């Protein structure tokens, strides 16, 4: 019962029942990214994404960012982007999590990183 309630009303948990119906009736699958997110487009040109796991807009990789925001880009044609060895894999926004970056995590926060000018 609780799972059905979540599917109908709680949009931040997963997509809702209404989104599922809209996707079935009006959505055309355009593609899928490396995270398992699915990208859809309607006949009228509206675009949306169905996230594989937790809903987080920062989980859209660069290959699909321009497409979902209607920005013309050479990647938009085939959604394949050549990856180089020096490029790091896409990471979602980690702010507010235990994996977030803290610049002074192990250092004394009062320690200065510069010297003041003397008159």
At residue 31, the 3 state secondary structure works out as strand
How do residues 18-62 score in pLDDT, each as one tens digit?
Answer: 778 888 888 999 988 888 899 999 999 999 998 887 777 878 887
Segment 93-101 shows an average pLDDT of 82
Encode pLDDT of 64-73 as tens digits: 888 888 887 6
pTM for the full model?
Answer: 0.61
Q: Please give the angle made by the CA atoms of 68, 51 and 42, to the nearest 5 degrees.
A: 45
Mean pLDDT of the chain: 76
Q: Exposed, middle or buried by CB within 10 Å (0-12, 13-18, 19+), for 39? A: buried
- Token couple for 72: 């013309």
Give dist(CA 31, CA 95) in Å, integer.
28
């Amino acid at each position: 019962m609780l799972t059905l309630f979540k599917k109908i009303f709680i949009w931040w948990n997963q997509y809702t029942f209404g989104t599922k119906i809209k996707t079935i009736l009006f959505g055309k699958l355009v593609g899928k990214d490396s995270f398992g997110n699915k990208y859809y487009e309607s006949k009228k040109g509206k675009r949306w994404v169905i996230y594989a796991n937790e809903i987080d807009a920062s989980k859209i990789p660069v290959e699909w960012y321009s497409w979902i925001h209607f920005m013309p880009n050479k990647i938009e044609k085939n959604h394949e982007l050549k990856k180089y060895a020096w490029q790091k894999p896409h990471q979602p926004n980690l702010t507010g999590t235990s994996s977030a970056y803290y610049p002074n995590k192990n250092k004394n926060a009062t320690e200065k990183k510069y010297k003041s000018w003397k008159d």
